[in-house]
Amino acid sequence: MELLHALGLDTKILIAQLVNFAVLLFVLWKFGYRPLLKFLDERQEKIEAGIKNAEAAEKRLHDIDDKEQTVLRQAQKEAQALIEKTNEHLNQRKKEMMAKTKEEIAAIVKKTKEELEVEKKIIFKNIKQETADLVVAALGKIISEKLDASVDAEYVKKVIHDVSS
């Protein structure tokens, strides 16, 4: 003790300071250090949870990106199939329309041929009639004597029959 006294330390004050230090240490530990550790632990848990959530969000984002790519590829395949189906339908429709047009053209050609044939017959009939009339007129001039009407008509019929045969 004399050593402490020689250093200028009072034992009563030293003990009081030690008790004060212990009380202060207890108060700081109880009300300062423990809440601070609790706050740091909570903060660490929040940070870890945030990191886990960020990793999970990144994984979900990656999964969504993969799904999006898959959906896009599927949509492209479906669009390509739809385009091919439409092209096939258009080609089929084109063939059908071409066949229908050919049939219509054939019908028009047939009808035109029939009309031409009818006109040809009418023209030949008219030509025969005019030829017969010309023959009668020519015969009338050639034959000076006039035959009776029944002989004349019979002769014209015979000439027409010979010309048409």
What was the pLDDT predicted at 96?
95
pLDDT band at 95 (very low <50, low <70, confident <90, very high): very high
| Rounded Cα–Cα distance for residues 110 and 65 (Å) | 66
Query: For the chain, what is the mean pLDDT?
Result: 87
The percent of residues in the chain predicted with pLDDT above 70, rounded, is: 87
- Dihedral, 140, 143, 145, 148 alpha carbons, nearest 10: -60
Q: pLDDT by residue (tens digit) across 127-147?
A: 888 888 887 777 776 664 455
pLDDT band at 152 (very low <50, low <70, confident <90, very high): low
What was the pLDDT predicted at 164?
66
User: For the chain, how many structural domains are there in total?
Assistant: 1
What was the pLDDT predicted at 8?
76
What was the pLDDT predicted at 13?
86
Other Cβ atoms within 10 Å of 128 Cβ, number? 15
Show the 3-state SS of 73-137.
HHHHHHHHHHHHHHHHHHHHHHHHHHHHHHHHHHHHHHHHHHHHHHHHHHHHHHHHHHHHHHHHH
What was the pLDDT predicted at 89?
95
Q: The pTM is what? A: 0.42
Q: Is residue 103 pLDDT above 60, yes or no? A: yes
What was the pLDDT predicted at 114?
94
Other Cβ atoms within 10 Å of 83 Cβ, number? 10
In the block, tokens 């030829």 appear at 131
Domain that holds residue 27: 2-164
Q: Are 31 and 24 in contact (CB under 8 A)?
A: no
